[in-house]
Amino acid sequence: MCKNGLVGEAREIFNEMEKFECFLSVVTFNALIDGLCKVGELEEAHLLFYKMEIGKNPSLFLRLSQGTDRVLDSASLQTMVERLCESGLILKAYKLLMQLADSGVLPNTRTYNIPINGFSKEGNINGAFKLFKELQLKGHSPDSVTHGTLIDGLQRVDREEDAFRVFEQMTKSGCTPSSAVYKSLMTWSCRKNKISFAFSLWLKYLTSLPDQEEETIKVVEEHFEKGELESAVRRLLELDFKLKDFDSAPYNIWLIGLCQAGKPDEALKVFSILEEWGINVCPPSYVMLIHCLCKEQNLDQAINIFCHTLEKGIMLMPRICNYLLQCLLSQGKANYALDLLNRMNSVGYDFNVYLQRTTKLLLRGHWNTRETENVSPG
């Protein structure tokens, strides 16, 4: 097969032979090594050569194949895989995992999850699924993190239907989706302006928890279906506060989703309720709300929200600060912009770092105009 260029097929047969503990002769090793060399897979050929020389002595094989970075057990393998993925060497981590899985070191599900996550985040969903299947072939059961990572990866490459198929398979296989999985689905649904669906997902999660008040959840759902957003959020907060660990993330996801959907009035309602209940509003929620209000020309409310961050001691990123200032300056609200700058300065904003060149030019022009107007005649 290798002579005919079918190296991939030959490798699969070789792996199957190993799996069923068939005798692998030197001729078999040499044929595959030769084929790998011809297609440029020198690293794998090198490791296969070591494997042939050492036979089934895993520890010696590992020492020779890795040099000073030795992987001697499952824990050190996980550490090595983490280190490689953090350095962006996901493919190398993948190869290491594949090469050592049959050499005495038994990677656990957590170890597989690391490169699966790496592949998913960089959009290599095929690589992620290949590892997912390999994990199952090795007798491991994918956990909630594995499924959640794949779901997020599929959403990243705009394969929403496949993401929900994985979600369905997950529940059918008896793996209970964690809140993180639901929140991931909610986030992506909101990005597609499916706010109602995102809301229903969290209700589904709450329903799956033990000792939940199903009647109350139904009431919340009815409020939302009728468009009674405030009532729905308040009742849901009452329900959520009874949980052992209250999670503000779903509310921030909805708030951001409403802003993304261009619904500033509804977003402000949710924001007001969260503030009333003392719920932590995250910086991205503030950013999206300010941006949404500016787009709708509701600059007074945008200023109020920004001032709220100043009072809370939350420093936002330069981009949104400049966007708000430029909107104010372009709409003839220079005095508001200057007052805002004074407040920003008082809480420690570094204008040399924060202010963009365009903002500085706009400010200079308005400042010069103000100075000219204040000069006495004659």
Domain that holds residue 374: 292-378
Q: What pLDDT is recorded for position 40? A: 76
Instruction: For residue 325, give Cα distances in angstroms to 43, 256, 307.
Output: 55, 21, 13
**Residue 122 clears pLDDT 60, i.e. is over it:** yes
**Residue 53 clears pLDDT 60, i.e. is over it:** no
| Domain end (from 150, 174, 198) | 174
Interacting residues of 100 by C-beta distance below 8 A, sequence separation 6+: 62, 71, 77, 107
Q: CA-CA distance, 46 to 24, in Å (whole number)?
A: 17
Identify whether residues 134 and 200 lie together within a single domain.
Answer: no
In this predicted model, what pLDDT tens digit does every residue of 276-326 receive, in sequence order? 999 999 999 999 999 999 999 999 999 999 999 999 999 999 999 999 999
- The answer to whether position 8 is within a domain reads no
Interacting residues of 364 by C-beta distance below 8 A, sequence separation 6+: none
Number of structural domains found in the chain = 3
**Residue 176 clears pLDDT 60, i.e. is over it:** yes
Confidence (pTM): 0.73
Q: What pLDDT is recorded for position 105? A: 65
Q: Helices 264-276 & 283-295, crossing angle to 10 degrees?
A: 150
| Domain end (from 256, 281, 306) | 281
- Give me the phi and psi of 41, to 5 degrees please: -90, 65
Q: What pLDDT is recorded for position 377? A: 34
**Residue 168 clears pLDDT 80, i.e. is over it:** yes
Identify whether residues 187 and 246 lie together within a single domain.
Answer: yes
> Where is average pLDDT lowest: 53-57, 278-282, 336-340?
53-57
Identify whether residues 272 and 182 lie together within a single domain.
Answer: yes
- The answer to whether position 50 is within a domain reads no
- The answer to whether position 72 is within a domain reads no
Identify whether residues 90 and 145 lie together within a single domain.
Answer: yes
Q: What pLDDT is recorded for position 258? A: 95
Nearest to 148 by CA among 113, 192, 115, 97: 113
**Residue 68 clears pLDDT 60, i.e. is over it:** no
- The answer to whether position 214 is within a domain reads yes
* DSSP3 helix / strand / coil % (the chain, rounded to 5): 75, 0, 25
- The answer to whether position 5 is within a domain reads no
Instruction: Write out the two tokens for 34.
Output: 């030769």
- The answer to whether position 327 is within a domain reads yes
Identify whether residues 314 and 273 lie together within a single domain.
Answer: no
**Residue 226 clears pLDDT 70, i.e. is over it:** yes
- Which is more confident, 59 or 84? 84
Identify whether residues 125 and 214 lie together within a single domain.
Answer: no
For residue 48, what pLDDT band results from cuts at 50, 70 and 90? Answer: low
Residue with tokens 């072939």: 137
Q: CA-CA distance, 126 to 122, in Å (whole number)?
A: 11
- The answer to whether position 6 is within a domain reads no
| Domain end (from 112, 142, 174) | 174
Q: Are 364 and 329 in contact (CB under 8 A)?
A: no
Identify whether residues 165 and 224 lie together within a single domain.
Answer: no
**Residue 371 clears pLDDT 50, i.e. is over it:** no
Question: What's 114's domain CATH number?
Answer: 1.25.40.10
Identify whether residues 91 and 120 lie together within a single domain.
Answer: yes
Give the count of alpha carbons within 13 A of 106, CB side only: 5
- Looking at every residue in the chain, the average pLDDT score rounds to 83
Identify whether residues 135 and 185 lie together within a single domain.
Answer: no
Q: Taking residues 109-125, what's their average pLDDT? A: 91
- The answer to whether position 260 is within a domain reads yes
Q: Taking residues 76-103, what's their average pLDDT? A: 80
Identify whether residues 163 and 229 lie together within a single domain.
Answer: no
Q: CA-CA distance, 291 to 302, in Å (whole number)?
A: 8
